[in-house]
């Protein structure tokens, strides 16, 4: 997610054709919330009230330990907010039939080794439209691991780029810890603890110099996740 291009380049970069399908997403959300997740997991959620229910720009920043994570985030956040989530996901996950399907659920690709301007532009557009964007700040899946890994600075840079050009947006970053009681892949009836942290107000960092603001915001995301990501 590292990106060094200047914000004005986002306006001239090629668009991402995500193929997002509201009806398919609504059907999937229903199946996930009523059948799939309640049948497969025992989910306990804390802090769900910290997710705003009014329409505003939000970045959800969950830990990443399993391929189930996006569905669990939709279960605890998308349904509570009664809106669709959009996901930045690795390029390889958006290829083939699987890619066709998850693009219609709101996913769009990022090349982790060489993030393109179009990916950043898509992220900014979603947030400027007061959408909810899911960014996994550790960058990839870390199965069988309860430690918080290096937080990619891209999440802070995207957030600060949005708020610096649209000061009227009250953009928030909400850290989320997803803890499985068993290592990945989680078995049937595995317990899952989802801890939702207090929102970080991105506008609070605008008084810092640009580089320092990104570093400070990234550090606070990491600290929040470490506090949330403790068993028991």
Q: What is the mean pLDDT of the chain?
A: 87
- Which token pair is 174? 């909400």
pLDDT, position 232: 58
Domain parsing of the chain, residue ranges: 18-228
Q: Does 100 have pLDDT greater than 50? A: yes
Residue 4: pLDDT above 80?
no
pLDDT at res. 9: 33
CA-closest candidate to residue 130, choices 61, 68, 55, 80: 55
Whether the per-residue pLDDT at 231 is higher than 80: the answer is no
Query: What is the pLDDT, as a whole number, of residue 81?
Result: 64
- Say if residue 113's pLDDT is above 80: no
Give residue 12's pLDDT.
32
Containing 159, the helix (H) or strand (E) segment is helix 154-165
Nearest to 76 by CA among 172, 189, 197, 224: 197
Mean pLDDT (whole number) for 147-152: 94
The alpha carbon dihedral of 225, 163, 55, 127 has a sign of negative
The larger pLDDT score, comparing residue 89 to residue 62, is at 62
**Tens of pLDDT, residues 150-199:** 999 999 999 999 998 888 899 999 999 999 998 778 899 999 999 999 99
To the nearest 10 degrees (0 to 180), the angle between helices 210-228 and 154-165 is 120
**Nearest-CA neighbor of 222 among 143, 146, 152?**
152
Contacts 24+ apart (CB under 8 A), 101-108: 103/18, 103/19, 103/20, 104/19, 104/20, 104/21, 104/24, 104/25, 105/20, 105/21, 105/24, 105/25, 105/28, 106/18, 106/20, 106/25, 107/18, 107/70, 108/16, 108/18
Q: What is the percentage of the chain residues whose pLDDT exceeds 70?
A: 90
Q: How many angstroms separate the CA atoms of 74 and 117, rounded?
A: 26
The pLDDT score that the predictor gives to residue 91 is 85
pLDDT the model gives residue 212: 97
- Distance linking the first and last C-alpha atoms of the chain: 32
The reported pLDDT for the residue numbered 63 is: 97
Alpha-carbon distance 201 to 171, whole Å?
6
Give the pLDDT band of residue 18 (cuts 50, 70, 90): low
Q: What pLDDT, on a 0 to 100 scale, did the predictor assign at position 11?
A: 31
Q: Which residue has the higher pLDDT, 5 or 86?
A: 86
Residue appearing with tokens 């996006």: 70
Identify the CA nearest to 56 among candidates 158, 163, 148, 185. Answer: 163
Q: Which range has the worst mean pLDDT, 3-12, 132-141, 160-169? A: 3-12
- pLDDT surpassing 80 at residue 114: no
Q: Is the pLDDT of residue 88 over 80?
A: yes
Residue given tokens 């380049």 in the structure block? 9
Say yes or no: domain 18-228 is CATH 3.40.1130.10. Answer: yes
Q: Where does the pLDDT of residue 59 fall: very low under 50, low under 70, confident under 90, or very high at 90 and above?
A: very high
What are the phi and psi torsion angles at 224 (to 5°)?
Answer: -65, -45
């Amino acid at each position: 997610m590292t990106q060094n291009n200047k914000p004005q380049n986002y306006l001239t970069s090629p668009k991402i054709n995500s193929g997002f399908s509201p009806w398919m997403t609504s059907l999937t959300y229903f199946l996930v919330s009523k059948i799939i997740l309640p049948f497969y997991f025992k989910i306990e959620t804390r802090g769900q009230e910290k997710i705003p229910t009014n329409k505003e720009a939000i970045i959800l920043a969950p830990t990443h330990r399993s391929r189930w994570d996006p569905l669990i985030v939709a279960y605890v956040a998308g349904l509570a907010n009664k809106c669709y989530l959009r996901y930045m996901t690795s390029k390889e996950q958006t290829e083939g039939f699987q890619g066709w399907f998850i693009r219609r659920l709101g996913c769009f690709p990022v090349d982790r080794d060489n993030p393109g301007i179009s990916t950043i532009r898509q992220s900014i557009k979603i947030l400027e439209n007061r959408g909810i964007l899911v960014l996994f700040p550790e960058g990839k899946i870390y199965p069988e691991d309860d430690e918080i890994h290096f937080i990619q600075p891209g999440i802070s840079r995207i957030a600060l780029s949005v708020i610096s050009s649209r000061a009227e947006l009250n953009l928030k970053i909400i850290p989320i810890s997803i803890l499985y009681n068993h290592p990945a892949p989680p078995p049937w009836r595995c317990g899952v603890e989802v801890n939702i942290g207090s929102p970080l107000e991105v506008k609070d960092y605008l008084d810092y110099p640009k580089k320092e603001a990104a570093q400070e915001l990234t550090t606070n995301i990491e600290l929040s996740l470490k506090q949330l990501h403790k068993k028991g």
